[in-house]
Amino acid sequence: MKILVIGSGGREHAFCWALSKSKKATKIYCAPGNAGTAQVAQNVDIGTFDFDGLIAFAKAEGIDLSVCPMDAPLVAGIVDAFQVAGLRIFGPSKAAAEIEGSKAYSKDFMRKYNIPTAEYGVFNSLNAAMAHCETSKFPLVIKTDGLAAGKGVIICLNMADADEALHAIFTDKKFGASGEKVVIEEFLDGVECSVLAFCDGTSVVPMPGAKDHKAIYDGDLGPNTGGMGVITPNPQYNEEIATHCMEEIFLPTMEGMRKEGRPFVGVLFFGLMLTSDGPKLLEYNCRPGDPETQALLPLLETDLLDITQACMDGNLDKLEILWKDNATCCVMAASGGYPEHFETKYPISGLENINNGVLIFHSGTKYVDGKLITAGGRVLCVVAMAKNLQEAGKIAYEAIENIHFNDIYYRKDIGV
């Protein structure tokens, strides 16, 4: 089978890598890809929003399966566009992707189907939102309705924070159209857990629980990033909690989406907060997480290509999905200054010193004149696998010390 993976980050590199191990995969393309995807796939210079260009390429090359792990093209309807063109693509429809594309929609959905989540209200004007905050208990969380590249969630400790956030959203329009509405919700205290699940519209098969590290600095300090490292399994997500989440969150979600006429096919990401009052759902993402995917796919025993087919054919219940009984630790090497200002185009060295068994997935890298250079805030991640988390962490940190580029920055406490 010829496969096209759409995107250019570490998650897409991990998808290309996992799909390339399938005996049924004859050729893999990645659009537009990066220097890492070029090792396991052929990069094609087409942008992720150029649906016409991607469809024309898929038709001309006789692509049998396309895979889109990126949220924005999914929310914009890439799956519908491919399907109308008669092409097979793994991912949710535009209607199903709204579960991430609109926070107001997803919160109303959770309420309608009794899925445990933070109490909330939806507001579409500065005055209404301010009035709500004035009578609420702090801390509270203000979220822009639409996608905001991970920046649309503001935790407010007091009214001054809320005032600033709401003016940035409604008066200064800092978040553009994604801030036309806001969700304001209660702050939940607890331990976060990311659960990614394969879905075929009816069945849901969760992957092992993962723990992301969103803050830029050790000890979870500083501003949030796309994710600075992941460990899996998440030590706090035990079997009892997993069973509870299946019954109270995962299955009701699948059934609710079906009832709404928007069956979810693809990988659904449940952002959970494990609170003293039980697990609660913070959010859905309509795609696998980054870097959760880089930490999870190396543990997968079953052919990823078979899983995508079973999801698209509605046969997921007939496929046994097996995982290695191991732990992984994934540490992200970033450009100094990320998530704010940072420089790129620095040469990267030392990858040849990485031992076999440690995987490197590229997030923001490029080849220029045959030289590997940095090309983004998050640059590459190192994934180590071992019998337990402690060992995996040790191997990942030994490996990352071999990698060099100007201003390299990584957290020192992933899984430690």
Q: Give residues in contact with ligand AMP (CB under 6 A).
A: 118, 141, 153, 185, 187-188, 192, 214, 271, 282-283
Q: Which is nearer to ligand GLY, 150 or 347 (CB)?
A: 150
Q: Which of 106, 285, 294, 308 binds ligand GLY (CB under 6 A)?
A: 285
Q: Are 138 and 157 in contact (CB under 8 A)?
A: yes
Quote the CA–CA distance of 362 and 29 in Å, as a whole number: 16
Work out what residue 227 binds among ligand AMP, ligand GLY, none; the CB cut-off runs from 5 to 8 Å by kind: ligand GLY
Q: Binding-site residue total for ligand GLY (CB under 6 A)? A: 7
How many Å apart are CA 81 and CA 77, to the nearest integer?
6
At its nearest, how many Å lie between ligand AMP and the CB of residue 101? 13
Q: State the nearest-atom distance from the C-beta of 100 to ligand GLY, in Å.
A: 9
Kindly tell me which of 141 and 305 has the beta carbon lying closer to ligand AMP.
141
Element containing residue 308 per DSSP (H, E): helix 304-313
Residue 400 interacts with, from ligand GLY, ligand AMP, none (CB under 5-8 Å by kind)? none
Kindly state the smallest distance separating residue 7's Cβ from ligand AMP, in Å.
Answer: 19
Name the residue nearer to ligand GLY (CB basis): 145 or 212: 212
Q: How far apart are CA 202 and CA 200, in angstroms?
A: 5
Neighbours of 302 (CB within 10 A): 15
C-beta of 64 vs 192, nearer to ligand AMP: 192
Contacted entry of ligand AMP, ligand GLY, none for residue 185, CB cut-off 5 to 8 Å set by kind = ligand AMP
Considering the complex, state which of residue 38 and residue 215 has its C-beta at the smaller distance from ligand GLY.
215
Residue 336 in tokens: 């100094």
CB of 175 to ligand AMP, least distance (A): 12
C-alpha to C-alpha distance for 368 and 86, rounded to whole angstroms:
36
Alpha helices in 21-158 (DSSP H): 37-40, 51-61, 71-75, 78-84, 94-101, 103-112, 126-134
Question: Please, are residues 35 and 366 in contact by the beta-carbon 8 Å criterion?
Answer: yes
HSE, CB side, 13 Å, CA atoms: give it for residue 415. Answer: 29
Q: How far is the CB of 120 from ligand AMP (least distance, A)?
A: 8
Figure out which of the listed residues 237, 292, 310, 351 binds ligand GLY, where binding follows CB under 6 A. Answer: 292
Q: In terms of CB distance, is 64 or 145 closer to ligand AMP?
A: 145
Candidate ranges 26-34, 35-43, 92-100, 288-296; the one touching ligand GLY (CB under 6 A): 288-296
Nearer to ligand GLY, 58 or 329 (CB): 329
Minimum CB–partner distance for residue 196 and ligand GLY (Å) = 9
**Contact call for residue 339 and ligand GLY (CB under 6 A):** no
Nearer to ligand AMP, 87 or 129 (CB): 129
Beta strand residue intervals within 239-310, DSSP E? 265-275, 278-285
b/e per residue, 183-211, with b = 16+ CB within 10 A? Answer: bbbbebebebbbbbbbbbbbbbbbbbbbb
Collect all residues with Cβ–Cβ distance below 8 Å to 135 and sequence separation of at least 6. Answer: none
Q: Which residues on adjacent β-strands are paired with residue 175?
A: none
Q: Does 100 bind ligand GLY (CB under 6 A)?
A: no
Burial class (CB in 10 A: 0-12, 13-18, 19+), 95: middle
Does position 289 interact with ligand GLY (CB under 6 A)? The reply is yes
| Helix, strand and coil in the chain, % to nearest 5 | 35, 30, 35
The site partner of 292 among ligand AMP, ligand GLY, none (C-beta below 5 to 8 Å per kind) is ligand GLY
Q: How far is the CB of 150 from ligand GLY (least distance, A)?
A: 7
Q: How many helices (H) and strands (E) does the chain have?
A: 14, 23
Angle between helical axes of 103-112 and 251-259 (0-180°, round to 10)? 100
Out of ligand AMP, ligand GLY, none, what residue 12 binds, judged by CB under 5 to 8 A for its kind, is none
CB-neighbour burial class of residue 27 (10 A; exposed 0-12, middle 13-18, buried 19+):
middle
- Of 9, 152, 209, 227, the residue at the interface with ligand GLY (CB under 6 A) is 227
Residues within window 179-218 making contact with ligand GLY, judged by CB under 6 A: 212
**Residues at the interface with ligand GLY (CB under 6 A):** 212, 226-227, 285, 289-290, 292
